[in-house]
A and B are shown apart, each in its own frame.
Chain A
Amino acid sequence: MKFAVLAFPGSNCEMDLYNAIKDIIKEDVELVSYKKNTLEGFDAVLIPGGFSYGDYLRSGAIARFSPIIPALQEFAKSGKPVLGICNGFQILTEAGLLPGSLQKNVSAKFICKTEPLVVNNDHSMFSSEYKEGQLISLPIAHGDGNYYCDQDTLRELVANDQIVFKYANNPNGSVDNIAGIINKQGNVLGMMPHPERAVEAVLGSDDGIGVFQSIVNHIKSRGVIYE
């Protein structure tokens, strides 16, 4: 199977993602420029963290109008997995592929540290490698990671089991301790923590492998029949 890793001006985690897939997950992976307008031939799309367009206006607000976005929206509609991490999550909310938005951290500080997370949904295509209630450690690194949505949206997220990861000790003020959510269809995940920075024990944690392995298992179990 083949992963696409999107790269926008100001992305800075695309090589971490690329290497996580190539060296640890051992699947095909290709960097795809924000200028391209097709995602044909890919089984899953990863949107990296960083500061696309310098976070000007709002995080993700300008990247959301890149040439690649219509292809991404089409790809998401087809039911194939799309994972946005950190700035990738922000781009997905701005593009309307996930509900809510990411605000400034309540502390107004950029937070860069490893955080304990609770797996809240272990049957999504991104989290089947974990067990519900399992505690994992992933690094966070963001200034705008405070997830916000209104109460109606939150009720819907809970009712549809869309909250995949929660913070054990909410570091940024997110509604309901939310660290990662999927869309209603379950094939688009946005998360602020960085699983690609936690794929080798020597780097402190390999708890992030499960996210990517879950995607691979999902694709392979389906025999890649989407169209």
Chain B
Amino acid sequence: MALVKVYVNYKKSILNPEAEAVHKALKRLGYDNIDDVKLGKYFELTVADGKSKAELDSEINEICDKLLANYNMENYHYEIVEAEAAQ
């Protein structure tokens, strides 16, 4: 088994009012040194064995392009972690 960690976030050109609200809240709490806040999505996919690294790469990219991220406004990256390490 492998664990795939997928990170989806907004492209730089996209305003993210939720992240801005969090940033403002941090400022109100006195954390003046926080220059920027990004707020995106994080997925953990537990994948059954049986596919090569290359096959898994292409499958994860397909999943991200098709469903997990909207290429109009989001970028994604992912890392594949072995199951032992994940635990």
Contacts and interface: CB of A to CB of B under 8 A. Distances in A.
Contacts of A148: 14, 72-73
Contacts, number: 34
A57 B68 contact: yes
A101 B17 contact: no
A103 B73 contact: yes
A65 B67 CA distance: 9
B14 A108 contact: no
A149 interface: yes
A205 interface: no
B59 interface: no
Nearest to B17: A108
Q: How large is the interface on B (under 10, 10 to 19, 20 to 34, 35 or more residues)?
A: 10 to 19
Interface in B29-86: 41, 67-68, 70, 72-73
Nearest to B16: A104
Majority secondary structure, A binding face: loop
B78 to A, nearest CB: 16
Interface in A151-185: 173
B21 interface: yes
A103 B17 CA distance: 10
Contact of B67 (A61, A93, A103, A173): A61
B17 A106 contact: yes
A196 interface: no
Nearest to B71: A101
A107 interface: yes
Interface of A: 57-58, 61, 65, 93-94, 100-101, 103-108, 148-150, 173
15 contacts: A57-B41, A57-B67, A57-B68, A65-B67, A93-B72, A100-B72, A103-B15, A103-B73, A105-B17, A106-B15, A106-B17, A148-B14, A148-B73, A150-B72, A173-B15
Given A57-B41, A107-B17, A148-B72, 13 more contacts: A57-B68, A93-B72, A101-B72, A101-B73, A104-B16, A104-B17, A105-B17, A106-B17, A108-B18, A148-B14, A148-B73, A149-B72, A150-B13
